[in-house]
Structure 1
Amino acid sequence: MLKTERLLLRKWTEADADSLFQYASDPEVGPITGWPPHKSVEESKEIIRNVLNGPECYAICEKENNIAIGSIELCLNGNTNMTTRDDACELGYWLGQPFWGRGYMPEAAKELLRHGFEDLGMEVVWCGFYDGNQKSKRVQEKLGFVFHHTCSEVPVPLLHETRVEHVNVMTKEHWGKCCAGRC
């Protein structure tokens, strides 16, 4: 478990299925990040068992109630198409709409980046967003990510479409110089 001033980042459990469904069924949340809204609590349970089960995947919870309101993950080599290196990973995240605009995602991501660089020995963290996802773009800017490249015609298999993706990067050196605890 990881902690910030206001949040807990902990492993997902099947007991989180109701809250996952509550936020992941919102059509404003999943599609902008590449997945369809959840259709049932049972589907949310399956997602917890089969998708939100990575070794560095965490439910984002407010400290006072420990209820899952979003998800954040460092996708390690083998679970991302952004790198084949063992010392590099991809940061992915989403947050339930009622919690947008509170600074929760930058707060959670700062802690996960710290964990990745300090505890897991990562040298590079990649992060991307689809064209039009301004909220995700702003989170990455606040965190100190640097633009790397844009890919056109990126497959989004869960939505049966292709999109433009903007890819950003943060190195351990950059994080240590400008971001560790300050941005």
Structure 2
Amino acid sequence: MLESDQIYLRRFQVGDAPILLKWGKNNYYHKSAGFEQYQNLEQAQKGAKQYAMRPNSYVICLKKNKQVIGLVELYERGMDKQSGLLKTKEIGFLLDKNFAGHGYMTQALLVIFDYAFKKLRQTELWAGTFADNIHSQKFLSKLGFKYVYTVDYRQISHLFSYKEKYYLLQKEDWLKINENTRS
């Protein structure tokens, strides 16, 4: 199990659909994190099944009462061995706004970083944020991510209406940060 002092990560279950529906009906999560919009429980159940099929998708739970408070995922960036992308992942995360400011997301990401770098042997973790999501950008910087580039998706297709900033955390940087925080 992936865990810290106050939280643990577990795989998604179909029974997580009600919390996905709660987040999916709230435009806050769609605007800040691009979270899927769900209109009813049936849509949320389909979403929960999709999350459950992904190998590195987890709900964040409080240890004290097992309440689901967020999610964290590691996405494949590519499957071509020659590109080197098998050694990298992109991270996605969402925290229920009722639980912000308690350090839960920091704990969840530290746990998933350890898992990604040590168990999955990844060399890089990437994270993308909407260009106007300053809070997430500061959070990523605090965790050791470095800004690399911005993509204006509006120039790629008329279906998109946003810019996204991409940040990188390399394994050697994480190991240095992790070593300094433990000593």
TM range (shorter): 0.7 to 0.9
Shift of 1:172: 0.7
Q: Secondary structure at the match of 1:162?
A: coil
Q: Secondary structure at the match of 1:161?
A: coil
Aligned residue for 1:65? 65
Provide the C-alpha distance between the structure 1 equivalents of 2:119 and 2:33, rounded to a whole number of angstroms: 27
Instruction: Map 1:65-84; keep pairs closer than 5 Å.
Output: 65-78=65-78
Shift of 1:22: 2.2
Consecutive unaligned residues of structure 1, counting only runs of 5 or more, are none
**Structure 1 residues 89-123: Cα deviation after superposition (integer angstroms, max 9, x where no partner):** 00111111111222211110111001000010000
Instruction: Map 1:75-154; keep pairs closer than 5 Å.
Output: 75-78=75-78, 85-153=85-153
Provide the C-alpha distance between the structure 1 equivalents of 2:2 and 2:138, rounded to a whole number of angstroms: 23
Provide the C-alpha distance between the structure 1 equivalents of 2:128 and 2:76, rounded to a whole number of angstroms: 15
Equivalent residues of 2:21, 2:38 under 8 A apart: yes
**Aligned CA distance change for structure 1 residues 128 and 107 (closer, same or farther; 3 Å):** same
Provide the C-alpha distance between the structure 2 equivalents of 1:74 and 1:180, rounded to a whole number of angstroms: 23
Moved more, 24-33 or 119-128: 24-33
**Aligned CA distance change for structure 1 residues 109 and 155 (closer, same or farther; 3 Å):** farther
Q: Secondary structure at the match of 1:64?
A: coil
Provide the C-alpha distance between the structure 2 equivalents of 1:156 and 1:100, rounded to a whole number of angstroms: 34
Q: Secondary structure at the match of 1:165?
A: strand
Structure 1 vs Structure 2: percent identity of aligned residues? 25
**Structure 1 residues 59-98: Cα deviation after superposition (integer angstroms, max 9, x where no partner):** 011112222221101112448xxx8611100011111111
Aligned residue for 2:171? 172
Equivalent residues of 1:20, 1:69 under 8 A apart: no
Aligned residue for 2:48? 48
**Aligned CA distance change for structure 1 residues 64 and 72 (closer, same or farther; 3 Å):** same
Shift of 1:9: 0.4
Counterpart of 1:54, as a letter, is R
**Structure 1 residues 4-55: Cα deviation after superposition (integer angstroms, max 9, x where no partner):** 1111100010111122222332211123222343212221111111245311
TM-score w.r.t. the length of structure 1 is: 0.87
Shift of 1:151: 1.3
**Structure 1 residues 101-160: Cα deviation after superposition (integer angstroms, max 9, x where no partner):** 222111101110010000100001111101111222122122110111111226899xx4
Equivalent residues of 1:156, 1:163 under 8 A apart: no
Aligned residue for 2:32? 32
**Aligned CA distance change for structure 1 residues 20 and 69 (closer, same or farther; 3 Å):** farther
Equivalent residues of 1:60, 1:72 under 8 A apart: yes
Q: Which has the higher helix share?
A: 2
Root-mean-square deviation (Å): 2.4
Equivalent residues of 2:51, 2:57 under 8 A apart: no
